[in-house]
Every structure is written in C-alpha cells, then in structure tokens.
A and B are shown apart, each in its own frame.
Chain A
C-alpha cells in the first residue's frame, strides 16, 4: 500500500470517526428512551460507522491519481502570521472594542502581506472600519459594543 498524504488524512479521519463513534455511544439518553427505535444517539452512531466505512475504503483502495503538493512553494510563514493575527483579534475584540481591534487587524494584515503604502493602508483600515461600523451600527441597527470608543466619548 502506497502511503501518501491523502492516506494519512484518511487515517486521521478514521481515528476521528472512531472517537466520534465512541463519544456517540457515551451520549446520555433518558431511561425511557434507551430502547426506543430512535434516540439522541442513534443518528450520531450511524454517522460514526459511515465515517469509519468511507475513510476505511479510502485507506484500503489504491489511489489512482496521487495528489502531489510541492511544500517548498507554499507560503507557510505569511499564512501562519495571518492566522495568529486573527487569533489575537479574537482575544482582544471584547476588551478593546470593534473599531480599534478591527482597524489594527486590517492594518497589520496589509503590513505582513508586504504592503508599505502607509497612507493607503491607513485609509483602508481606520476610516474604512469607521464607515463599515456606521453601516452596521447606524444604518442596519446591528449593535456593536465598543469599550474604546465609549471611553473616549465617541459612542454612547
């Protein structure tokens, strides 16, 4: 059997399905529902078996068209940085507020992707977010909590 990344993904999916199936069997149902033809764990159990079946088949059957990914040409660094920026965004948005966090998220994303036109970067982050915030908050009536803007008295 030829081992390639698709097979490894199938193996991971097989393990995941086994874990899912185990967890499905652990779902607590009401005592009167235990022997019912259908209860809260029935469908997940079928799904667990279906996952094992399809990933098992993928593991066992030969791979006609092996997909080769040239890892040397992949841009891991920038992708990882963007993911980290998004995580930091998630960690700070509730404390700092929508406006500042989102503007900094955009500004830093432009920067790490290699942009250096500072004026354009600024206009496509701070005023852009302000305009978008006005659209959501002012026109579409979608409430946006913003401790930063509240602290400087811009938002009520």
Chain B
C-alpha cells in the first residue's frame, strides 16, 4: 500500500494535476452554488476537455469538480436557504438560521471545516477499504455482478425518485434501451440502428449525459423562467461577519465530525444512496445523541446540526468512489458519469484497476486530500468574490451552457448527426423533467447497460439458459434479497405515507 500511496502522490502532486484540482474545485464551486445546476452538469461539461489529458489527470479534474460542487451547494444553502445540490438540503436547517443571526461567516467556516474533515477522514477510510475490497471483489463472478447491477439500479430508482419509484424504473429501462442501440458486443449484429450508419457504434455516453443534464437543464431554466443567478446576486450583498470558530464550537465539532464521517462514508459506499441520504441520516443521528439543551437548538442554528450533514455529505462523496473503483459499478449518478468517462479513456474500472492502473487508482485517492485542502484555503476566503462571478446574467449563462454542450459533442465526433440526436434527447428529457421523471437512473442504466448484458450473457450461457444462477451462489442470493427488500420497503413506505 505504501508503494501505491507513493505512486499516487507522485502523480497527484505534478504541477498539472494540482492545477487541475484547483480548476476543478473552483469551477465546481461556481456550478454547485447555482440552484438547479448540480455536480453532474458540471462534470458533463468538463468531459470533452478531459479527453485532451491522460486518464489520471482527467479523473482528478472531475473529482475536483465533484467536491467543489458539493461545497458550493452548502454556500447557497447557508446564505440563501436555496441548496445548490440535494445533498446540502440538511445544511440549510441550521446553516440558514445561523446566517440570519448575523453569523453567516461562522456558518460558512463551520461548513468548510466540517467538509474538509469529513472529506479527509473518508479519504483515509477509502485508502484502507478500497484495496481490501478490490481483493474481495476478485472473487465476484458474472451472476454476482449481474445481481449487483440490478441492486444498484433498483436502489438509485428507490432513493432518487422522491416517492416516484415507477417513474424512476421507467427511466432505468429507457437508459438500458438507449444503451442497447448499436452493434452487439459479441456477434457484431446491429440492433435498433434502422440502417443508419451513424448509430452502428451505438449512442455516445457523453452525448446522453450532455443531452439529459447540461442541455436539458439549460432548456428547463428557460422554459420555467428560472434565474439561477438571482441567488448569487444576493450573496455578494450579504454581510458575512467573522469566520472565526471559538473553543466551545470547536469542541462540539470534534465530537460530531468522526461519527458523521463514518455514517457518510458507509452510506456513500452503498449503491444508489449518496450525499443526500447521508446528510439527512447524520443530521437525525446527531439530534438523537446530543443532550437536551443542544437538542433544543436544532433548527435554530446549532453547530452540531450544521457540522453533521456537512461532514456526512462530503464523506459520502468519497465513499461513492468505492464501488466505482473496486467493482466498476457506480453508486451514484455522478460517479456513473465518471465511470463513463473512464471507459471513454479506454480504462476498465473494476477489481483489476488497482493492479493494472495503480497510478489512476491511487492518484484519485491522493487528489482527494489535495482537493480538500484547496477547497479550504482557496474557497473559504474567496466565497464573496466567487459569488460576484456568479452574478453573470442568465442571458449569458444559458447560451454558454448550450455552447459547451454542442461543442463538446461536435469535437468528439465531428458529425452533425450527433448534434441532432443530442437536441432530440434533450427535448424529450426536458419534457420528462417537467413531470418529475428523474434523470440519474437513466444515466446509471445507460452506463451499466453493456456490462449488464455481458454478465447476463455469461451467466445464462454457463447455466445453460436456466435462471437458477440467481440463487445458486449465496452471494448472488444475498444481493438479490437485498434488492427485493429495497423494493418491498419502498412500497411499504408509500402505503404508510398514504
């Protein structure tokens, strides 16, 4: 492991990669602060640029964008009660009341230090857990992988759909259908191409991400007459106050941070769960463990109430890298986008990544530490200035997002058919978004489609066409039972709600 850490440090500490982390954190913070534009959009817009770099640098840039976006989301939660990303909703429960009491600077500092500690601690957990899990996952066979993918897709549908499980499952199926377009990987038989040569190689992953996130988000903003930059205009006018944290507050944070980081990390590791669930769970747990006097302060500007979700959401970000790096199965929409980008680089994530591309594996983990430090020293003092940059009018922001989307697609294929296809998918996605059809399950399904078919093929061929492979191995059966449990629990919860 020491050798791996050194390899990672050597790669991550090159001037180019440090610069990439800085650019990623800065860009991610800006996008994360804009309500409606989350880390997936930010990462999607970065993909075409990353193809000019080597895989490690590209992924380091995307990881920086991810942390930056989560950090930026907390800022708008605290200052405006308008979370930039769902993972920072719980931050606003105590962060915003604190800002209203004239302690916005302090709230930002608590959030920043908690994010830093949560991210750093979970990067340490990742450092120890990822190699061990990689070794364990080498024993996984095709039926286990197939069952794991079903679990991941079901879980993301259950957790991301806000009570609209069936809609999310329809999006999963649509994602898998889109992934099935093009040549069959084994027989080279073309499917669903309708004799169009442009579809022979299938639909590009970047095209689907750009269409369903970047472009459709820009169109949705125009369609709904939203102005994401209006929030930023208020930030620059806000009096932030002191960013100093006193001894009593620090003592409270010392207790909160370790337990919230563990919850965040473990939730992040689970497929489908992520920063949102982690932050709510950590908030709930913190409320239960503190004394009655502190409990009374929850919702009115509690230090524990702010520190817990902030620690957990950043820890969950690092945790979500575990299934992607070790199993090749992303646990969230954001890591699905990163996985797609890795595949685009020609790198196959999974248990062997640790051995075949150690520089990628370790440099991502090492860049997390660097990213956290940069977020702390660069972003905290610069928040008011970043907010000023954000006050770019909507009339400029939207065309620029569209520009990055169409340019991104064009430079990848130099083909105008892809531009038309992207516009078509974006229009459909915009319409579906209006009626609350979630997009992350579609992306995850699209990324996993090929792998899922491949593992089902192997499993069915080995079992001579019998579906017994689903319960032949204990591991497969356990994963499948977990999937069933999630579905049953979800329906039970819906019935209770009614």
A-side interface residues toward B, CB under 8 Å? 5-6, 9-10, 13, 17, 20, 23-24, 27-30, 33, 36-44, 47, 50-51, 54-55, 57-58, 61, 64-65, 67, 69, 73-76, 78-79, 82-83, 86-87, 89-91, 93-94, 98, 102, 105-106, 109-110, 113-115, 120, 124, 132, 136, 139-142, 144-145
Q: Is B436 a contact partner of A67 (Cβ separation < 8 A)?
A: yes
Known: A29-B189, A44-B180. A79 touches B219 (CB 8 A): yes
| B198 CB–A CB distance under 8 Å | no
Known: A37-B465, A69-B434, A144-B411. A109 touches B398 (CB 8 A): yes
Q: Is A38 a contact partner of B395 (Cβ separation < 8 A)?
A: no
Q: Is A141 a contact partner of B52 (Cβ separation < 8 A)?
A: yes
Look across to chain B and name the residue whose beta carbon is closest to the beta carbon of A5.
B435
Residues on the A chain within 8 Å of B225, using CB? 73-75
Look across to chain B and name the residue whose beta carbon is closest to the beta carbon of A61.
B166
| B345 CB–A CB distance under 8 Å | no
Known: A10-B170, A42-B460. A79 touches B420 (CB 8 A): no
Known: A9-B432, A23-B192. A79 touches B223 (CB 8 A): yes
Look across to chain A and name the residue whose beta carbon is closest to the beta carbon of B52.
A140
Residues on the B chain within 8 Å of A113, using CB? 222, 394-395, 398-399
Chain A-chain B contacts (Cβ-Cβ < 8 Å), number: 166
- Can you list 26 contacts pairing A with B, beta carbon distance less than 8 Å? A20-B177, A29-B189, A38-B456, A38-B460, A43-B452, A43-B453, A43-B457, A44-B177, A51-B173, A51-B174, A54-B166, A58-B166, A74-B224, A75-B222, A83-B219, A83-B423, A90-B416, A90-B419, A90-B420, A105-B403, A106-B399, A109-B399, A120-B396, A136-B411, A139-B52, A140-B49
Complex Cα–Cα for A27 and B183 (A) = 11
A36 CB → nearest B CB, Å = 8
Q: Is A82 a contact partner of B180 (Cβ separation < 8 A)?
A: no
Look across to chain B and name the residue whose beta carbon is closest to the beta carbon of A4.
B435
Contacts of B165-223 to chain A: CB distance below 8 A: 166-167, 169-170, 173-174, 176-177, 180, 184, 186-187, 189, 191-192, 218-219, 222-223
Known: A9-B437, A47-B177, A145-B414. A38 touches B419 (CB 8 A): no
Q: Is A102 a contact partner of B189 (Cβ separation < 8 A)?
A: no
Known: A37-B464, A75-B222. A91 touches B411 (CB 8 A): no
Residues on the B chain within 8 Å of A67, using CB? 435-436
Residues on the B chain within 8 Å of A65, using CB? 163-164
Complex Cα–Cα for A73 and B407 (A) = 31
Question: What is the predominant secondary structure among interface residues of chain A facing chain B?
Answer: helix
Complex Cα–Cα for A75 and B227 (A) = 13
What total of chain B residues lie within 8 Å of the partner, measured CB to CB? 63
Residues on the A chain within 8 Å of B347, using CB? none
| B496 CB–A CB distance under 8 Å | no
Look across to chain A and name the residue whose beta carbon is closest to the beta carbon of B459.
A38
Residues on the B chain within 8 Å of A13, using CB? 170, 174
Known: A51-B173, A113-B394. A93 touches B410 (CB 8 A): yes
Look across to chain B and name the residue whose beta carbon is closest to the beta carbon of A50.
B173
Residues on the A chain within 8 Å of B460, using CB? 37-38, 42
Residues on the B chain within 8 Å of A132, using CB? 407
Contacts of B407-446 to chain A: CB distance below 8 A: 407, 410-411, 414, 416, 419-420, 423, 427, 430, 432, 434-437
Complex Cα–Cα for A44 and B450 (A) = 11
Q: Is B423 a contact partner of A30 (Cβ separation < 8 A)?
A: no
B275 CB → nearest A CB, Å = 24
B215 CB → nearest A CB, Å = 8
A64 CB → nearest B CB, Å = 6
Interface residues as binary, B385-411 with A (CB distance below 8 Å gives 1, 0 otherwise)? 000000001111011101100110011
Residues on the B chain within 8 Å of A10, using CB? 170
A65 CB → nearest B CB, Å = 7
Complex Cα–Cα for A140 and B498 (A) = 56
Q: Is B393 a contact partner of A115 (Cβ separation < 8 A)?
A: yes
